[in-house]
Amino acid sequence: MLFSETYIDVILPLGVPNMYTYHVPDDLKDQLDIGFRVVVQFGKSKLYSAIIYRVHSNPPKAYMAKDIQMVLDDKPVVNENQLKLWDWIREYYMCHPGDVMSAALPSGLKLSSETQVLLNVDVTIDPSILTDDEFLVFEALEINQVLSLDEISKILNKKGVYPIVKMLLERQVIVVLEEIKTKFKPKKEKYVKLNSVYQEEVKMKALFDELLNAPKQFAILMKYIELSQMFSGEESAVKQKVLLDASGASSVQLKSLEKKGVFSIQEVIIGRLGDFSDEKGKDLVLSPSQQTALEEVQSNFETKDVVLLYGVTSSGKTEVYVKQIEDTLAKGKKVLYLLPEIALTTQIINRLRKYFGDQVGVYHSRFNQNERVEIWNRQMSPKGYDIILGARSALFLPFENLGLIIIDEEHDSSFKQFEPSPRYNARDSAVVLSKIFGAKVLMGSATPAIETMNNALAGKYGLVSMTERFGGVKMPKIVIADLAKAHKKKQMQGHFSSQLMEEIKGALDRKEQIILFQNRRGFSPYIACKTCGWSPYCTRCDVGLTYHKYLNRLKCHYCGFERHIVKKCEACGSHEVELSGFGTEKIEEDMSLIFPDAKVGRMDLETTRSKNAYQNIISDFEDKKIDILVGTQMVTKGLDFENVSLVGVLNADQSLNFQDFRAHERSYQLMSQVAGRAGRSSKQGLVIIQTYQPEHPIIQQVVAGDYEGMYHRELIQREEFGYPPYQRLIRVILKHANKEKLTDSAQLFVDALQSSFGSRVLGPEFPGVPRVRNRYINQIFVKVENAASINRVKNMLVDHMVVFKQNKVNSGVQVIIDVDPY
Ligand code: ADP
Ligand code: ZN
Ligand code: ZN
């Protein structure tokens, strides 16, 4: 009978605007439910694994529903709460369901005909456990390296290869290609162990005798016995480095013992999910002001769902979070702890593990897909972590019984994803997630976003302040180095004012550490011919190339285009091509030249590409293996180093001169945050801000630590010009390779939008970099008053988009919508 047929609406992993309805054959009816993956055909011959969104009995009106090919899972991979969050993100940020799915699911859970797989080099495979089909795939991959699911299907001569691939993925025999881009080198350490035959006393005695004439080798053995505690009955392997250091022997001498079969040496990967359980349970006593803050947070939670903890840098917000987490766990609920930056997770995780041991799981985009799928699956099981710590993608993990979301450094722009769609803000989405669970949200910042503070002052959020640093430590002293003056008085050494130079020298002499902040990577961002002014530009983007000295190449920071360095002007032939301006790489080099005895480290996009790079730089700095750390905004965020006494902001003007309405707010946050890295224990720290605009109100407010002043001044301007929090912004971005065509189309779009929204429409305009990857860009802004219905505006906007796309003259013009773009 027709009405008893089963249909499902599925989300495809594609940028298509809708969900699609498929028919479920009778024999599969009882095998599926919401959140399961099914394999479906879409288009002529492509197969995809799609997620079931809804099960119902209504055939689609517009098309004949195809049958699904098979059911991939025997339990859901996504729960209904996750689907609710996906819904909200899709609607609010005006994107496709498949976009959200792509952002949310680790690639190991997304499969399509085009998905390419390869053998997992991290795991040694015992082929005898494989089924015949699995073995065929394994063998084929040994020969071909990479195969698409389509190709596997041909090799096995069957259509239903998804379950086989899924099995191989689960057993970690294979991995999906796209994830391999960030190849990382796991951290390894050599361990030494004594051959077990020497547990026999006779053998040991014989060994002693044998080594009597080899004093160094004898010393190694003696030290091993001591360090491994073998006679206490709990022998453990000893780190090679520790053993050699302690015995004063060389690795050659150890090697010869290895050759004799006395020791075995093994390389061990330092694991990510190590066993931390014995670290757990450290006592934490809050200071009186922390205790007061905690009590205020809790009493605010009685009436408010969101509380802002506004505490100066180093006031000890993390410890207040820890107590609130304990409180939540005691009620049997789970916690999500969001951070804006992966670099920060590596430091906070160590702090959290002191209290919560292995109850904390970490999740972010630097993990490879096996690790991500592993955590995902654990979250789907009853054994999910009590606490998940992560950067923005952690929002998408499955949760059960979530009671608290912490959003640390809530003001940070990294919570917003710009590219690709969904262009979501993880802070705002987290508030929505909390509503789904009825959970509480605790946001923290020393420099709250204007909107957040506005919500707090309006009573929508609770507000708790901490005005002093933990342990009575003073706020750092902030001074300005006036660059114009310094240049005039010839008090500049390269890019450094004499003031900064002296302080660096002093700090080095006192064995204190230094952070230098420059928000530009590479060596020199400006290259120009002294004769005619010509500069090398990217061939694909309208932007100058940055010189990277280590690579000895010019690089485009927008598209990655690279070319060799120019020695001769390509316009006039002059040989006087000059490098000017400076990025982190240049500062690093300058510091090493000026202070040859200092160890200089650098933290920016270049030096942190691999998975553990952050961890290594941060622990080197903590272990004082680095004296001067040069970095981009990565070094400004929430890191806690006890021995940093000096922070230098090399060029404050850069961020002040940005165009968008948030430039001043962001500059204030950036400078105050980087300043907050100084003097976090005992001694008062010093911050030197180099600028050409010493009178700029933002600079003055940073010096005075006057957040309130900044907030009120900003608020007046936001109201006057109609920006958040008074009005919302939707940005429409149009792209096309042909400039005229683009501007014509953009004007058409603006005219149409103005017919509905009048003067609320601004643009079209070219952004700061008008062409990227060979495509010109125009942007249009639609402003929406808070009182207006944003949903109505969005619906009308979508209608205009449909009309726009149907008009042939606009064919090929890409339209992107970005809600709350900044
Ligand atoms: P914030 O996050 O507000 O910048 P942190 O939480 O990083 O501040 O605290 C600053 C420093 O003070 C850290 O090194 C932290 O370990 C220490 N600290 C804060 N509260 C306590 C406490 N109650 N007991 C011991 N140390 C604390
Ligand atoms: Zn020239
Ligand atoms: Zn480019």
Range of lowest pLDDT (52-66, 142-156, 308-322, 774-788): 142-156
Is 420 strand, coil or helix? coil
Q: Which residue has a Cα nearest atom 9 of ligand 1? A: 316
Backbone angles phi, psi at 117, to 5 degrees: -125, 160
Residues with CB under 5 A from ligand 2 (ion): 529, 531-532, 534, 569, 571-572, 574
Distance of CA 635 from the midpoint of ligand 1 (Å): 18
Please tell me the predicted confidence (pLDDT) of residue 181. 34
Question: What pLDDT score was predicted for residue 268?
Answer: 66
Specify the DSSP element, H or E, that contains 815.
strand 814-819
pLDDT (0 to 100) of residue 768: 86
Ligand nearest to the CA of 555: 3
* DSSP 8-state assignment for residue 278: G
Let me know: does 409 contact 440? Beta carbons within 8 Å: no
Amino acid in the structure at residue 85? L
Closest-CA residue, ligand 1 atom 23, reads 286
Atom 22, ligand 1: which residue's CA is nearest?
Answer: 286
Confidence grade of residue 376 (pLDDT, cut at 50, 70, 90): very high
Contact 546, 536 (CB under 8 A): no
Q: Whose CA is nearest to atom 20 of ligand 1?
A: 316
Strands 238-239 and 146-148: unpaired
Of 218, 230, 212, 206, give the one whose Cα is nearest residue 257: 218
679 Cβ inside 6 Å of ligand 1: no
pLDDT score, position 620: 93
Give CA angle at 568 (566, 569), nearest 5°: 95
User: Is the beta carbon of 323 within 6 A of some atom in ligand 1?
Assistant: no
Tell whether ligand 1 has an atom less than 6 A from the beta carbon of residue 470.
Answer: yes
Q: State the average pLDDT over residues 594-622.
A: 89
Tell me how far apart the alpha carbons of residues 443 and 431 are, in angstroms, rounded to a whole number. Answer: 10
Rounded Cα gap, residues 87 and 92, in angstroms: 8
Q: What is the best residue among 284, 290, 314, 443 to mutate for testing ligand 1's pocket, by most ligand atoms within 8 Å of CB? A: 314
Sheet holding 553-555, edge to edge: 546-548, 553-555, 562-564
Longest CA pairwise span in the chain (Å)? 98
Centre of ligand 1 from the C-alpha of residue 315, in Å: 6
**pLDDT tens digits for range 492-534:** 998 999 999 999 999 999 999 999 999 888 888 888 898 888 9
For residues 794 and 95, give the distance between their C-alpha atoms in angstroms, rounded to a whole number: 11
Distances (CA, A) of 596 to 491, 522, 593, 656: 21, 21, 5, 33
Q: According to the model, what pLDDT value does residue 271 have?
A: 38
User: Does 667 contact ligand 1 (Cβ within 6 A)?
Assistant: no
Confidence of residue 637 (pLDDT cuts 50, 70, 90): confident
Task: Give 71's strand partners.
Answer: 38
Region 5-24: mean pLDDT is: 92
* CA-based nearest residue to 55, from 47, 65, 44, 45: 65
The pLDDT value recorded for residue 269 is 54
Predicted pLDDT of residue 276: 43
Q: Which range in 311-315, 552-556, 580-584, 659-663 is most confidently predicted, on average pLDDT? A: 311-315
Least confident of 1-10, 568-577, 701-710: 1-10
| Euclidean distance between CA atoms 361 and 380, whole angstroms | 13
Q: Give the pLDDT score at 274.
A: 42
Q: Coil, helix or strand for 75?
A: coil
pLDDT given for residue 729 in this prediction: 94
375 touches 398 (CB < 8 A) = no
Q: Is 287 in the pocket of ligand 1 (CB under 6 A)?
A: yes
749: three-class secondary structure by DSSP: helix
Integer Cα distance of 589 and 602 in angstroms = 10
Q: Alpha-carbon distance 12 to 7, whole Å?
A: 15
Q: How many CA atoms lie within 13 A of 159 on its CB side?
A: 10
- φ/ψ (deg, to 5) at 74: -110, 5
Residue 182 has pLDDT above 50, yes or no: no
| Nearest residue (CA) to ligand 1, atom 10 | 314
The number of the ligand nearest the C-alpha atom of 772 reads 3
- The minimum-distance atom of ligand 1 relative to the CA of 473 is 12
Whether residue 184 is predicted with pLDDT greater than 70 in this model: the reply is no
Query: What is the pLDDT averaged over residues 76-88?
Result: 96
pLDDT band at 607 (very low <50, low <70, confident <90, very high): confident
- Quick one: three-class SS letters along 499-540? HHHHHHHHHHHCCCEEEEECCCCCCECEEEECCCCCCCECCC
Q: Is 408 in the pocket of ligand 1 (CB under 6 A)?
A: no
Q: Are 413 and 663 in contact, with CB atoms under 8 Å apart?
A: no
What letter represents residue 63's amino acid?
Y
* Spatial CA neighbour of 134 closest among 161, 114, 109: 161
> Would you put residue 206 in left (φ > 0), alpha (ψ -120 to 50) or beta?
alpha
With a cut of 80, say whether residue 456 has pLDDT above it.
yes
CA–centroid distance, 538 to ligand 2, in Å, is: 17
d(CA 820, CA 671): 24
Collapsing DSSP to helix, strand or coil, 185 comes out as coil
Q: Give the strands of the sheet with 116-119, arranged side by side.
A: 146-148, 116-119, 174-176
CA of 515 to the centre of ligand 1 (A): 20
Q: Are the CB atoms for 586 and 578 separated by under 8 Å?
A: no
Of the segments 106-120, 280-294, 326-340, which one has the largest average pLDDT value?
A: 326-340
% of the chain exceeding 90 in pLDDT? 58
- Using CA atoms, how far apart are residues 328 and 294, in angstroms rounded to an integer? 13
* Cα dist from 188 to 185, 266, 395, 802, whole Å: 9, 10, 31, 55
pLDDT in tens, 382-409: 889 999 999 999 999 999 999 999 999 9
Question: Ligand 1 centroid vs 640 CA: distance in angstroms?
Answer: 8
**Which atom number of ligand 1 is nearest to the Cα of residue 351?**
16
Q: Which amino acid is at 458?
A: A
C-alpha to C-alpha distance for 155 and 166, rounded to whole angstroms: 17
Instruction: Please give the Cα distance from 719 to 712 (Å, whole number).
Output: 11
Question: Minimum mean pLDDT among 137-141, 255-259, 388-392: which range?
Answer: 137-141
Tens digit of each residue's pLDDT (9 = 90 or more) over 345-354 = 888 998 999 9
- Measured in degrees and rounded to the nearest 5, phi and psi for residue 526 equal -120, 130
**Cβ contact 403:331 at 8 Å:** yes
Mutate to test the pocket of ligand 1, among 315, 319, 464 (most ligand atoms within 8 A of CB): 319
Locus of tokens 């959140």: 35
Percent of the chain surpassing pLDDT 70: 96
pLDDT of residue 278: 46
313 lines ligand 1 (CB under 6 A): yes
Q: 315 CB under 6 A from ligand 1? A: yes
Average pLDDT (295-321) is 96
How much is the average pLDDT of 423-430? 97
Q: Is the pLDDT of residue 715 over 60?
A: yes
Ligand 1 centroid to Cα of residue 456, in Å, is 24
CA-closest residue to ligand 1 atom 4:
314
**Ordered alpha helix ranges (H), 637-769:** 653-656, 663-675, 697-704, 707-721, 739-757
CA atoms within 13 A on the CB side of 541: 17
Examine the pLDDT at 281 and tell me if it is beyond 60.
no
DSSP per position, 556-620: -TTT--EEEPPSS-TTT--S-EEEES--HHHHHHHHHHH-TTS-EEEESTTTT-STTHHHHHHHH
pLDDT attached to residue 280: 55
Residue 131 has pLDDT above 90, yes or no: no
692 CA from centroid of ligand 2 (Å): 29
CB of 619 within 6 A of ligand 1: the answer is no
pLDDT (0 to 100) of residue 447: 97
* Element holding 53 (H helix, E strand): strand 46-56
Q: What is the pLDDT of residue 301?
A: 98
pLDDT for position 231 = 74
- Mean of the per-residue pLDDT values for the chain? 89
Q: Would you place residue 415 in the very low, low, confident or very high pLDDT band (cuts 50, 70, 90)?
A: very high
335 compared with 559, residue with greater pLDDT: 335
- Asked if 515 contacts 631 with a C-beta cutoff of 8 angstroms, the reply is yes
pLDDT digits (tens, 9 = 90+) for 189-242: 788 888 888 888 888 889 988 888 888 999 999 899 888 877 766 677 888 888
Check if the beta carbon of residue 690 is closer than 8 Å to that of residue 498: no
Let me know: does 671 contact 632? Beta carbons within 8 Å. no
pLDDT of 364 over the 60 cut: yes
Each residue of 658-679: pLDDT tens digit?
778 899 999 999 999 999 999 8
Q: Which atom of ligand 1 is nearest to the CA of 290?
A: 23
Question: How many other C-beta atoms lie within 10 A of the C-beta of residue 205?
Answer: 11
Cβ neighbors of 168 (< 8 A, separation 6 or more) are: 117, 134, 137, 138, 174
Atom 19 of ligand 1, residue of closest alpha carbon: 316
Question: Whose CA is closest to 699, among 673, 658, 664, 674?
Answer: 664
8 Å CB contact between 182 and 610: yes
